[in-house]
Structure formats: structure tokens, C-alpha cells
A and B are shown apart, each in its own frame.
Chain A
Amino acid sequence: MFYRENGQFKSSYAADQQLLPILQDRVFMVALVAFAFVVVPLVVSDYVFLSLLIPFLILALAAIGLNLVVGYCGQISIGHAAFMAVGAYAAYNLVLRIPQLNFLIVLVLAGLVAAAVGMLFGIPSLRIKGLYLAVATLGAQFFMDWLFARVKWFTNYAHSGSVQTAPVELFGWSIDSPQEKYVFLLAVLILFTVIARNLVRGHIGRAWMAMRDMDVAAEVIGIRPVYAKLSAFAVSSFFVGVAGALWGFVHLGSWEPAAFNLTLSLNLLFMIIIGGMGSILGSFFGAAFIVVLPIVLNQLPQFLGIPMSTAMISHLEFMIFGALIVFFLIVEPHGLARLWAIGKEKLRLWPFPH
């Protein structure tokens, strides 16, 4: 009833091709962004910012990046935390060695370094695919773990391999309170989301998807695999590298190489599998699921007033979390984004579903 598009006629190509062609979607999106920018900073506590929202925003950005290469281009990678690490250490070294650089430029440069490294590790994808490629990208993970733990130059010869950063400063604005961090990250995330949305519906994204659906057919119709696959790795690593730099500078403030270990790579992959492969929206759902759910589960017994030892709560958290992953994958293998799409379809037909 509320979600109906009759009467919305498109009379120009521009109107037909806009990002959100349906009026209700546009209104909803504007309201959501306004809510996120204005209301959330006023009502949410520091704890929610620091433990839930800030990690969520950064990992959502990383998940979008990973989704570009895995979901859209079909090249499985389980080494994307390594590219986050490249972004983070690149940004650290840039700030350390060229202190007068603006942080936004640092972010872009860190992303470019990560993109270069991503392309390098994407080269095997030209010859191998599927699980074999996954194993090859695992190599990136182990190599970067080793590099940042052993080559002291990257960590500025820190005793324990742990690096520290000063609070981020932009044009004299010091981003150190949770609210400021949140607003800054939200702006970055929205910018990158718009870029990603436009990339995947343009000719580059179509080339990626053709590659994913059948590489031989794509080659026959004139898409160059070298260009399509490596550009997917490059763009994906750029996103992930920026996310890594933000993770280090805005969220952690000081980190050790283990902050970007295999667990994070796998978590990113789980995010897009649960959220929905080949869906930008799914990256958000997946990031929320992986970041927020364990913490909520961990605090649930206390809010319900059930006395329980912390060890018991932790065990339960793992069990319920695992069970929920299995549940969602069985109910909807295409991810939470697909559930959302089904909901929208139902709303269109409501109250007369068929």
C-alpha cells in the first residue's frame, strides 16, 4: 500500500537511470542518512559508538570492497585483511615520514598502495580460479603477516611491533571524540558506497559480472580478462586499504600486526556471504551481523537479569552465533540482502499477495 510505484512515470533517461528510481526509496534513504547524521550523534552513548557503530562503519566499507571482487567479479579472496594491513601501514608510514600531509590525501595514497599490492596478488587469478585462487590469496595474508611482523622499517622500529598514531586532524578539526569519529566515518562510507554503486552498474561492473558468470563467454564478447580481473582486485583493494587505514587511525589508535590476521579476513568473507554476495546493501547487513550480534548476545543475559558466569555467557555466545549463521544460510542462501529484497516485493503486492 505504501510501497507502490504506480504513477511514477520516467520521462527522461536520467530519471530512469538514477540510483534510486522509486520515490519511496529516495525518501527513505534521505531520512535514513539524516537520522544517521543528526539524531544518532545526539542520542547514542559513547559505548555504542566505540564498540558497535565505529567498527561497523569501517568493516562495512571493507565488506563492500571485498564484495566487489568476490561478489561481483567472482574471484574468491581470503586474504583481504592483508590489504587492510597494507592500507594501515602505508598510512602510518606516510603520516610518520611526511607529517604535513592532509589525512584525506593519506587515505587516498594508502588506498592506492593497497590497490597496487592487490593487483600484484591478483595476478594468479588470471590463470587459476575458484578454491585454487582462494588458496593463492591466502598467500597474501601470510606474506603480509610476516612482512609487518618482521621488517622493522614498517613499524618504525617499535620494540614490540605495535605502532601508535596521533588523533586524526583535518583542516584543524581534531577527530577524537566518538561522535566526531562517527560522523567522519559515516561521510567516508557514504561517499564510497555511492562510488561502489555507480561502479557496479557501469561498464566496469558489467565486465566484472560477465567475468563472474562465465569467463569464456565474457572473453568471446570482447571483455579482456586481464583488465576485468585486475581492475576488480585493484578497486577492491583500494576500498579495503582505505578501510584498513581508518581501522588503524580512527578505531584502534595503536595496533599490532595481529590486528589484521586471518580471522579478520575470514570475518570479512563471512560478512559478504551472510549479507549477500554481489550486493552493496548486503555488505552493510553482513557487517552489522558479524560486528554487533556477538556483543549483543554477550550482554543479553545481564539485561534479562539472568545470573550467569562470564565463561558460560561466552560459550553460549559462540553457540548461538554459530547456530544463527547456519540458520540464515539455510533459510536464505543468497544472504540477508535477498531477504530484504523479498520483503520489498511482498510490500509492493500487499495487501493482495499472490
Chain B
Amino acid sequence: MIQDTAASKRSTQNLEEVDMMHKAKFVGLAAGLAAAVAFGTGSALAQDKKGAPAKKAAAAGGGEQFFPVLSYRTGAYAPNGIPFANGFLDYLKLVNARDGGINGVRITFEECETGYATDRGVECYERLKGKGPTGATLFHPLSTGITFAVTDKSFVDKIPIVTFGYGRADSVDGTVFGWNFPLGGTYWDAADMLVQHVGKISGGVDKLKGKKIALVYHDSPYGKEPIALLEERSRMHGYQLLLLPVTHPGVEQKATWLQIRQQRPDYVFLWGWGVMNSTSIKEAVATGYPRNQMYGVWWSGAEPDVTPAGDGAKGYNALTFLAPAGQGQVHKDIIKYVHDKGDATGKKEGFGEVLYNRGMVGAMMSVEAVRRAQIRHGRKPLTGEQVRWGLENLAIDQAAIKRLGFEGFMTPISTSCVDHRGDSEAGIHTWDGKQWVVQKGVRLVADQAIIRPMIRASAEKYAGEKKIVRRDCAKESQQ
């Protein structure tokens, strides 16, 4: 009985969607025929695709939850994109193979290659947002540029954009950015942590006065995000900030490192991605800049970043966000349920490496968000709008982390309607020539007293430019 109503609800929902798509009363008139003939890639096929899984779902009983996966396995950022995507997909496969889905709702997914290019990423977003019986669950754009572009669309499409450890720093404010979830930390947090860390090494942040900190950054929204915070901190502590942009894809950095050779900064913060990271480290070797004075953001501290530089990378440090390298209980499960069944994603590239694990954590938080949302909306395929409730009420505590097999790979996180980031905490790890070693006793927490007013001001500006009405979280929680 319950299943029947669920199925019928879904089908009416489909009809509604189709109706909305055309925005016209007389869709039936020749529409199907013309669409099939003139626009083979268009609506007719999209409708078929929407219809088919719904039927299958009704037969299986539990239904299907669709996860779009934007990945990049080609181009300058592929060395970092591949392990992340593998980890993400392997975990989704594990949930299906081990648990039979999320409370019986099976996971389906589809990959789309963005090449880290914003226009293709937006195209992928449009392509995947309507698939599956209930549409896309949530998106991991995996690029700050794509995040900026799809943030605008999220208000209309009502699909959450999860950007854990990247994305817009001001999107922490859930009352303006209703659909963005920079879970676990933003670049402002990361920059703040790094300044605190080098301050501690120098004997207190006040000792930073007169020192020079160089930021070598990818000249894109990703690389530019931390600048605002570093400038704010520079005003507070009096260090000199050198901004050294590197243009995409980042293989040409001779001029940048010439400046570093001339200026001799006390610390270099590296905000790179893909081949840019390894090039920076190689250039540091060539310039003779000590690697142990270099600190990367959490996206500049994985195996593909250091291995091309060989021994030269020894001593290089980076923030380690939620998941360091290594293997735990969940990896054993993945080997048992996914890899041994011959279902591994790709060629098992990067298994147990930093980015693979981070991809896995990303998938896990997404799955947990759906599980959480099921408590409120029932054990059935959920729409993006329903999943948002799960993301806003995420509560992954230490016990849950242990139960899920992620012990040691992430810190507890809990979110709310107002705070879309949750808790942010990171450590520092150092490359010893063979592997990443986490520095003992270093736990960094960003100073929210500095960041909160910045978030408020920036979100206010965005709301003004976009003419967005703030959400009333207190009112929504009463419903």
C-alpha cells in the first residue's frame, strides 16, 4: 500500500516536472514528435530517462537515489581529479554492495567529465540535475569556479551544492546561501590556520611583525579566496603579504620564483591545484627555497603534488583537512565488497592516498546527509530540497565515525540552518620523501572572531547584488 502511494506520488511529480519544463498547456500537440525529430538530445529522451528508473524503482521496492558525479580525469588537473573521483565512487559502490543502499534505497550515479573547466562543469550540472527518479541529490562541483557558477542556479533548481573544503568562503552563511554547504572548512579557515601555525612557530603571532609571507596562488577564484583573510590578518599582525599569481594551468612559474628569490619571504603559502603544485615544489628546489618553510593548503598536499619533485619535496608541509593518507576499516570493506568483486573504479589509482580518502569522506558525508533526511522525509528516494534538510542537520559524532569505519580520517561535524560549514579543524602533515606524516600535537582551529564578520559582510553584499531575501531559520525550524 505504502509503496503504491509512493510510486504514484513519484509519477505525479514527474508529470509536474515535465509540465514545468514546457511551461505550456498544449504540450501534447506535436511536441513529442517534433522534439524526437528535431532535438534528439532534448526533452523526449530526457523524459524517457526520467520515466524508466521510476518504473524500475517501483519494482525493486526501495527506489533509487541519484548522485551526479562531476569529475575530471583528463587535463592538467587529472592527477588530482582521478583519485578523488575513484574514492567518491568506490564508497558509493560500497554502500550499495555492503548495505544494499541507504536504508534500502539503492544509489545510482553518473559521472560527467568537467576537465576543471567552468563552462563544461555548468553543462554537466545541467545535464545531470534532472536524472534519476527524484533528480540530482546534491552536487560536488569539485572546482571553486564551477561552484561560483552553479551557486546562482541552486536557488532555482533547489539542489544542494556541497563544497567541502573549498568553494565560497561566505557561503557558510546558510541564511543567504541556502543551498551551499562548505562542510568542514573554507579557504578563510585554511588561511587563518596557516597564519596561526607560522605564528606559533615564530613564537607567537605578534612576532610575525615585519616578516614576509608570500602567497603563491592559482589565478582563479580558488586561489584568490584566501587573499581577503590574509590581508585582514596582515593588518592585525603587521606582516608583509606578497601576492604571486600563477596562471592556469601553472606549469610556467619561473617569474614567480624569481620574485621569491629576490624577496626571500619567511614563509610561502601554496594555493595550487593539479600540476601547479608539483611545479611549485620543483621551482622551489631550483630556486633553493627551503621546503620546510612552504605550507600548502589542504588541496596542495597530496601524493601527486610531491612525487614528481622526487627527493626535493622532502620537508614540504601542507594542511591536512579531515582525511589524511592511510587505510582504515572502511578501506578493508572497500577491498572486500568492491575491489575483490572486480568493481573498482578506474584502475584503483590512489587507493588509500590523501585525495582518494577525501573523495571517500565526501561521498560518506553525502550518504549520511541522505540518511539523515530520510528520518524526516521517509525511506524513499529524496529530492535535492529534502536532502538539504539532512545537510543542515548533519550530526556525525565520534561514535558515528567509528561505526562507519572512518576513525582517524575525519573529525566530528554538525551543521545547522544558519551555519552550513559545521566545525572546522585541521592539522599539518609533512612529506618525508615517502609518505605524508601528520605532525603530532598540531590541531588548528580558525579564529571565528575574525572570520565571522567577514562572512557576514560578504554574504550581505552577495544578497544585495543578487537581490536575495534572507531565510528565516527560526521560523523554518518550527515547521
Residues of A within 8 A of B (CB): 39, 41-48, 50-52, 55, 96, 149, 159-162, 164-166, 176-177, 179, 252-256, 258-259, 295-296, 298-299, 303, 309-311, 313-315
Say which residue of A39, A55, A162 sits within 8 Å of B221 (CB atoms): A162
Assess whether A166 is in contact with B73, with CB atoms less than 8 Å apart: no
Say which residue of A42, A50, A256, A311 sits within 8 Å of B24 (CB atoms): A42
B472 at the interface (CB under 8 A from A): no
- How far does the alpha carbon of A50 sit from the alpha carbon of B152 in the complex, in Å? 13
B77 at the interface (CB under 8 A from A): no
Closest to B34 in A: A43
Q: Which 4 A-B pairs rank lowest in CB-CB distance, beginning with the nearest?
A: A311-B73, A45-B43, A160-B221, A253-B152
- How far does the alpha carbon of A179 sit from the alpha carbon of B22 in the complex, in Å? 9
Assess whether A165 is in contact with B465, with CB atoms less than 8 Å apart: yes
Q: How far is the CB of B231 from chain A (nearest CB, A)?
A: 10
Closest to B82 in A: A311
Assess whether B228 is in contact with A43, with CB atoms less than 8 Å apart: no
Closest to B145 in A: A256
Residues of B contacting A55 in the complex (Cβ-Cβ under 8 angstroms) = 119
Residues of A contacting B467 in the complex (Cβ-Cβ under 8 angstroms) = 166
Residues of A contacting B399 in the complex (Cβ-Cβ under 8 angstroms) = none
Say which residue of A46, A255, A296, A314 sits within 8 Å of B126 (CB atoms): A46
Assess whether A45 is in contact with B46, with CB atoms less than 8 Å apart: yes
Assess whether A296 is in contact with B112, with CB atoms less than 8 Å apart: no
Assess whether A166 is in contact with B465, with CB atoms less than 8 Å apart: yes
Closest to B187 in A: A160
- How far does the alpha carbon of A295 sit from the alpha carbon of B465 in the complex, in Å? 32
Known: A39-B34, A159-B458, A256-B221. A164 touches B42 (CB 8 A): no
Q: How far is the CB of B146 from chain A (nearest CB, A)?
A: 11
Q: How far is the CB of A53 from chain B (nearest CB, A)?
A: 9
Q: How far is the CB of B325 from chain A (nearest CB, A)?
A: 24
Assess whether A47 is in contact with B42, with CB atoms less than 8 Å apart: yes
Assess whether B462 is in contact with A164, with CB atoms less than 8 Å apart: yes
Assess whether B31 is in contact with A51, with CB atoms less than 8 Å apart: no
Closest to A180 in B: B23
Assess whether B45 is in contact with A48, with CB atoms less than 8 Å apart: no
- How far does the alpha carbon of A187 sit from the alpha carbon of B26 in the complex, in Å? 24
Assess whether A176 is in contact with B156, with CB atoms less than 8 Å apart: yes
Assess whether A254 is in contact with B21, with CB atoms less than 8 Å apart: no
Residues of A contacting B71 in the complex (Cβ-Cβ under 8 angstroms) = 310
- How far does the alpha carbon of A166 sit from the alpha carbon of B152 in the complex, in Å? 9
Residues of B within 8 A of A (CB): 21-24, 26-27, 30-31, 34-35, 38-43, 45-46, 71, 73-74, 78, 82, 111-113, 115, 118-119, 122-123, 126-127, 130, 144-145, 148-149, 151-153, 156, 168-170, 219-222, 224-225, 227-228, 245, 248, 346, 458, 462, 465-467
Assess whether B126 is in contact with A166, with CB atoms less than 8 Å apart: no
Assess whether A295 is in contact with B123, with CB atoms less than 8 Å apart: yes
Q: How far is the CB of A346 from chain B (nearest CB, A)?
A: 24
Which of A46, A161, A255, A298 has the most chain B CB within a 10 Å cutoff?
A46
Known: A149-B219, A314-B74, A314-B115. A159 touches B228 (CB 8 A): yes
Assess whether A43 is in contact with B148, with CB atoms less than 8 Å apart: no
Residues of B contacting A179 in the complex (Cβ-Cβ under 8 angstroms) = 23
Assess whether A311 is in contact with B74, with CB atoms less than 8 Å apart: yes
Assess whether A43 is in contact with B224, with CB atoms less than 8 Å apart: no
Residues of B contacting A45 in the complex (Cβ-Cβ under 8 angstroms) = 21, 35, 39, 42-43, 46
Jot down 13 A-B pairs with beta carbons below 8 A, ordered by A.
A42-B31, A43-B34, A43-B35, A45-B35, A45-B43, A48-B43, A165-B465, A254-B148, A295-B123, A303-B45, A311-B73, A311-B74, A314-B74
Residues of A contacting B40 in the complex (Cβ-Cβ under 8 angstroms) = 303
Residues of B contacting A313 in the complex (Cβ-Cβ under 8 angstroms) = 113
Say which residue of A160, A296, A303, A310 sits within 8 Å of B73 (CB atoms): A310
Q: How far is the CB of A297 from chain B (nearest CB, A)?
A: 11
- How far does the alpha carbon of A45 sit from the alpha carbon of B22 in the complex, in Å? 7
Assess whether A159 is in contact with B113, with CB atoms less than 8 Å apart: no
Closest to B40 in A: A303
Which of A55, A159, A253, A295 has the most chain B CB within a 10 Å cutoff?
A159
Residues of A contacting B152 in the complex (Cβ-Cβ under 8 angstroms) = 164, 253-254
Assess whether B145 is in contact with A258, with CB atoms less than 8 Å apart: yes
Closest to A166 in B: B467
Assess whether B21 is in contact with A46, with CB atoms less than 8 Å apart: yes
Assess whether A166 is in contact with B466, with CB atoms less than 8 Å apart: yes
Known: A254-B151, A310-B113. A42 touches B225 (CB 8 A): no
- How far does the alpha carbon of A149 sit from the alpha carbon of B462 in the complex, in Å? 19
Closest to A300 in B: B41
Assess whether A43 is in contact with B248, with CB atoms less than 8 Å apart: no
Closest to B465 in A: A164
Closest to B219 in A: A149
Q: How far is the CB of A50 from chain B (nearest CB, A)?
A: 5
- How far does the alpha carbon of A259 sit from the alpha carbon of B146 in the complex, in Å? 11
- How far does the alpha carbon of A259 sit from the alpha carbon of B221 in the complex, in Å? 11
Say which residue of A50, A160, A258, A310 sits within 8 Å of B112 (CB atoms): A310
Q: How far is the CB of A39 from chain B (nearest CB, A)?
A: 6
Residues of A contacting B34 in the complex (Cβ-Cβ under 8 angstroms) = 39, 43
Which of B27, B145, B153 has the most chain A CB within a 10 Å cutoff?
B145
Residues of A contacting B39 in the complex (Cβ-Cβ under 8 angstroms) = 43-45, 48
Assess whether B42 is in contact with A48, with CB atoms less than 8 Å apart: yes
- How far does the alpha carbon of A164 sit from the alpha carbon of B149 in the complex, in Å? 9
Given contacts A43-B39, A256-B221, A259-B119, 9 further A-B contacts (CB under 8 A): A42-B24, A44-B42, A45-B39, A46-B130, A50-B122, A255-B149, A303-B41, A310-B113, A311-B113
Residues of A contacting B130 in the complex (Cβ-Cβ under 8 angstroms) = 46-47
Closest to B117 in A: A263
Known: A42-B27, A46-B126, A295-B123. A259 touches B42 (CB 8 A): no
Residues of A contacting B248 in the complex (Cβ-Cβ under 8 angstroms) = 258
Q: How far is the CB of A305 from chain B (nearest CB, A)?
A: 12
